[in-house]
Structure 1
Amino acid sequence: MSGNWTSGRTFAEHGPNGKKFTLVVGNKRYPRRVAALVMGGVVVVMGGFFASVLGLIYWGKQVDARSAGEEAGLAQLAREHGWSYEPSRSGVVDRLEGVEPFPDVSTGLLVSDYTHGRYKGREFRYFEYEDESTGTGADSRETSEYYAVFAVSTPGEVPRTVFREEGFLDSVFGGGKIVATGDAEFDADNRVIAEDRAAAKQLAAPGLTRYLLHGPALQDRPLRFENGEVLTWHEERLRPRDVLRKLDYLSRVVDHSPARAWQ
């Protein structure tokens, strides 16, 4: 038998004592018992890999799907609270363009499940925004990303100010100036990005930054103050179970914002 073995090849070979080898890797030979363990491990690892891939595909489809009960539940929730509900509405995104998750320029894009009313004494609205994109090259399929968007009114207006987790090249692509809040713990992992640095400093007072540090993570619930309201959003379908929780969150954000920010 030739002495040139190829890494990874498996075949039978008999040694000088007649012992049968079934796995040859490089210059090493392994008996049948060891070979069975190795091959079994390979099968388990590969099986786990493919199961994980299939699981991610299935999970992704579940995230992008809503049941008939969830579809009907959004309209039912609005009826129960006396809120106004529209299956779709155009022009909503136009005033929100320029900052993620919305496009840089928008004209009459539709949103779905547009709902507005009053909650805990404040005006609010929420809706689902679908961001469609088309692949390039060989993969020219259309894909959609869904965002559930919530907004609650604020006592006054401030120039656009965004609170979110630290992002890549915020100073270049953040859409504004990075504002240091003076809270070292907050600034370590989060960013305040604003058009007006002085107004943002007034808003990002310790009462608000401390609440955001010890409350829901900005990674999951970013904030955007603009046009007399504060918004939050997450990349998932709009579902009835999330509505009151998100409206509560925004209401607490307004409660923890300093009064002088609106003067």
Structure 2
Amino acid sequence: MNTTLLVIVVVVVVAAVMFFQYQAHKKKVEAFTALAGERGWRYTERDRGLARRFTGTPFGEGHGRDARHVLTGTHRGRPVLAFEYSYKETRGSGDDRRTRTYHYTIVSTGLPAPKPTLQLNREGLGRKLLGFVGVRDLQLESDEFNRTFHIRTENDRFAYDVLHPRMMEWMLADERALTTPFRFEQADLLTWQEGKIDVSDVDALLNYLCDVLDHVPTFVWKP
């Protein structure tokens, strides 16, 4: 294959890849726009400021942080937010320099009042908690719960109030809790999962967060 033909092949391949990426992006924008229209929500294609809104996992790492496909509105009477978060990590140098982009689906709902940081995830997974001073591990009276979940908090009293016996029983019995971490962070309860955001995932994640809040005693929100 001569040089001219090789260049033509490369240009055609690159153009084809760009075309399919554009079509996929266009289809995604249309899907989110339609969902927002059906729900009376707002859709924004990009909002880089959201990349700095939260501090803990998976935020605060890498470079080129970005937020796309942002949905805002209300769900089950609560203010909600969903978006696709990404950041990049570059390693190596020279010819060995490689950049990888990580994508996460972020979903959050507003709290009745700001509260201390409290993060729960499956034991052994996602232990990093960036940007929080005074956050520490916590063990509860339930050995089964401690074996299943990893708890990090900056306020033991708040953690005990949220993770009461009925809450722990419910989480141990609900399969979603085994795969869906959550974190109370200031005025939000949020969850995250690896991968680009998809319309089909939003409701399930929002409903899980709302179910978590439904199990939190009302006195927790009082001053």
2:184 counterpart letter in structure 1:
F
Q: Summarize deviations over 1:175-195 as a string: whole Å, max 9, x none.
A: 621112222211112111011
Matches within 5 A, 1:15-164: 68-97=26-55, 99-103=56-60, 109-137=65-93, 139-164=96-121
Q: What TM-score comes out, normalization by structure 1 length?
A: 0.67
1:157 counterpart letter in structure 2:
P
Q: Summarize deviations over 1:52-76 as a string: whole Å, max 9, x none.
A: xxxxxxxxxxxxx956533421121
Equivalent-residue separation in structure 1 for 2:130 and 2:148 (angstroms): 17
Equivalent-residue separation in structure 2 for 1:170 and 1:204 (angstroms): 19
* Kept in 2: contact 1:158–1:261 (CA 8 A): no
**Residue in 2 that maps onto 1:251:** 210
1:163 counterpart letter in structure 2:
L
Matches within 5 A, 1:197-208: 197-208=156-167
Q: What TM-score comes out, normalization by structure 2 length?
A: 0.78
* Kept in 1: contact 2:57–2:126 (CA 8 A): no
* Kept in 1: contact 2:65–2:86 (CA 8 A): no
Closer, same or farther: CA 184–217 of 1 in aligned 2, 3 Å = farther
Equivalent-residue separation in structure 1 for 2:60 and 2:129 (angstroms): 17
Bigger strand share: 2
What is the deviation of 1:172?
9.9
Equivalent-residue separation in structure 2 for 1:126 and 1:157 (angstroms): 19
Closer, same or farther: CA 169–237 of 1 in aligned 2, 3 Å = closer
* Kept in 2: contact 1:147–1:233 (CA 8 A): yes
List 4+ stretches of structure 1 deviating above 6 A: 171-174
Listed as ranges, the gaps of 5+ residues in structure 2 are 1-22
1:209 matched to 2:168 = yes
**Residue in 1 that maps onto 2:147:** 188
Equivalent-residue separation in structure 2 for 1:213 and 1:192 (angstroms): 14
Matches within 5 A, 1:212-227: 212-227=171-186
SS of equivalent to 2:33: helix
Listed as ranges, the gaps of 5+ residues in structure 1 are 1-64
* Kept in 1: contact 2:59–2:130 (CA 8 A): no
Closer, same or farther: CA 170–85 of 1 in aligned 2, 3 Å = closer
> If you compute each CA radius of gyration, which structure gives the higher value, 1 or 2?
1
Bigger helix share: 2
Closer, same or farther: CA 171–121 of 1 in aligned 2, 3 Å = closer
**Residue in 2 that maps onto 1:238:** 197
